[in-house]
Structure 1
């Protein structure tokens, strides 16, 4: 369970740290929504980057809680390795983190996706 928890927290912490950095070095006005034509139609302050990182952290912690519950239910708490379904959750969380990082990059540069 420690390996899984470490992996999840590493992914979420990296995303959150990038969010903190973007909060300080990013623009004062952050685009938060683009319409169908690619023009900005909603903006926010730089704390939007922090919120995006926090969402990934909250998701990661919920996944860790799910894994603990699942291991307790299956009586596999003593096994010190990443289980098959946990590996999927690490992969899925990594994809979410990459999507959030790409979104942050687009917001930093005002580029529509």
Structure 2
């Protein structure tokens, strides 16, 4: 369980670092919404880029809670390797991570 929690929490720490780098290189106003035609129709402060890592942090902590609960029910709390169901969560979290990085990149360009 420790390996899983370490991986998940390091992913959202990395996302905060990426967001801070994007904030440092972004203009003062960023695009916050893009309509169906691909045109920006809402703008906001560049610190709104921190919303993606915040949302990712909440999702990761919920996933950690769910996997911890599942391990406790199965009696596998002290097993020191990543279970197959946890690899599925890792895959989903990686996809969400990539989507959030791309979303932040689009917002600053």
Report the number of matched residues.
109
Q: Could you list the per-position Cα deviations for residues 13-47 of structure 1 after superposition, in whole angstroms to 9, with x for gaps in the alignment?
A: 11121112222331111111111111101111111
Please name the residue that 1:73 is paired with: 73
Worse overlay, 29-38 or 98-107: 29-38
Worse overlay, 35-44 or 88-97: 35-44
Unaligned runs of 5+ in 1: none
Please name the residue that 2:60 is paired with: 60
Worse overlay, 47-56 or 80-89: 47-56
RMSD: 1.0
TM-score, normalised to structure 2's length? 0.94
Please name the residue that 2:36 is paired with: 36
- Equivalent position SS for 1:42: strand
